[in-house]
């Protein structure tokens, strides 16, 4: 358990100390003490009040669009607030309900699922891909259905180093199919449901976004192949050997720290 103390948590917590739950590509994710909500903080977004307000308004607008894209069944609520950190800078915070009993798709052991469970997951994912594709055709963008995890801010910085570029490209183009997503989580309530938990905008220039989303669109074809693989039986042949090396099984926890 890693505890973080920062005045930025003041609107949500008496002693300004929250436990770190996980980390992604750009965000540190904390738990409220009652375990009902997660608090998402991007340390690089601190600035003046008007800058933070602009970020928050943009993030909210994008989150609304992605929620409309995937529909109520595959999304969760997002709330945005501004708070002053211990360093005096103002940060936009994203608040979401904490999803208990939920696991990122990356943590699923697909070989251990029943045929019915695989079918349910494949059906929901193909609906999500279909909606993302329709949204791309209408708007030129789509939600990030993939994502990565980082055990700490230091690891996140290391992953961004130029020397890591080949590994990042390999991971982006080949390894991280929708079945290995960190941004989609499987929720087990009355019925299994796949939901998007990451609604971040792409914070790059127009030209980068154009290329990025065009590549993402092509990679949807790769994901359709991954779904076909899932429907065929999660890569387990009659002798129990795995057929697909890329779509490996994993039981790792969402936060490796």
Nearer Cβ to ligand ADP, position 54 or 253? 253
- Check binding of 147 to ligand ADP (CB under 6 A): yes
- Check binding of 98 to ligand ADP (CB under 6 A): yes
- Check binding of 147 to Mg ion (CB under 5 A): yes
Residue from 92, 104, 143, 235 in contact with ligand ADP (CB under 6 A): 104
- Check binding of 102 to ligand ADP (CB under 6 A): yes
Total binding residues for ligand ADP by CB under 6 A?
21
- Check binding of 198 to ligand ADP (CB under 6 A): yes
Write out the binding residues for Mg ion, residues 61-100 only, by CB under 5 A: none
Residue from 8, 39, 40, 59 in contact with ligand ADP (CB under 6 A): 40
* 20 DSSP β-pair partners: 30
DSSP labels for 16-85?
A: SEEEEEEE-SS-EEEE-TTSSEEEEE-GGG-B-HHHHHHHHHHHHHHHHHHHHHH-GGG----EEEEEE-
Considering only the stretches 6-14, 59-67, 196-204, 234-242, report the one whose residues sit in contact with ligand ADP under the rule CB under 6 A.
196-204
Q: Per-residue x/- marks for Mg ion, 12-31, CB under 5 A?
A: ------------x-------
- Applying CB under 6 A, the residues found at the interface with ligand ADP are 22, 24-27, 29, 38, 40, 96, 98-99, 102, 104, 147, 149, 182-183, 197-198, 200, 254
């Amino acid at each position: 358990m890693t505890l973080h103390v920062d005045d930025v948590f003041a609107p949500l917590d008496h002693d300004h100390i929250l436990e770190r739950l996980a980390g992604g590509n750009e965000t540190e994710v904390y738990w409220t003490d009652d375990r009902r909500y997660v608090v998402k903080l991007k340390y690089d977004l601190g600035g003046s009040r008007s800058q933070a307000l602009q970020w928050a308004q943009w993030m909210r607008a994008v989150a609304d669009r992605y929620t409309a894209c995937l529909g109520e069944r595959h999304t969760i609520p997002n709330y945005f607030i501004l708070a002053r950190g211990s360093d005096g800078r103002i940060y936009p915070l994203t608040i979401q309900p904490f999803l208990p009993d939920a696991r990122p798709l990356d943590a699923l052991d697909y070989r251990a699922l029943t045929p019915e469970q695989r079918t349910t997951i494949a059906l929901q994912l193909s609906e999500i891909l279909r909606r993302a594709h329709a949204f791309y055709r209408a708007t030129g963008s789509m939600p990030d259905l993939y994502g990565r995890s980082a055990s700490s801010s230091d690891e996140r910085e290391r992953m961004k180093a130029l020397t890591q570029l080949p590994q990042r490209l390999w991971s982006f183009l080949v390894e991280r199919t929708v079945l290995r997503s960190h941004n989609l989580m499987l929720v087990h309530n009355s019925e299994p449901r796949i939901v998007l938990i990451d609604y971040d905008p792409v914070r790059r220039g127009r030209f980068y976004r154009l290329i990025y989303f065009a590549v993402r669109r092509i990679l949807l074809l790769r994901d359709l192949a991954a779904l076909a693989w899932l429907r065929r039986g999660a890569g387990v042949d009659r002798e129990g050997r795995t057929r697909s090396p890329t779509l490996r099984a994993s039981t790792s926890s969402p936060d490796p720290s």
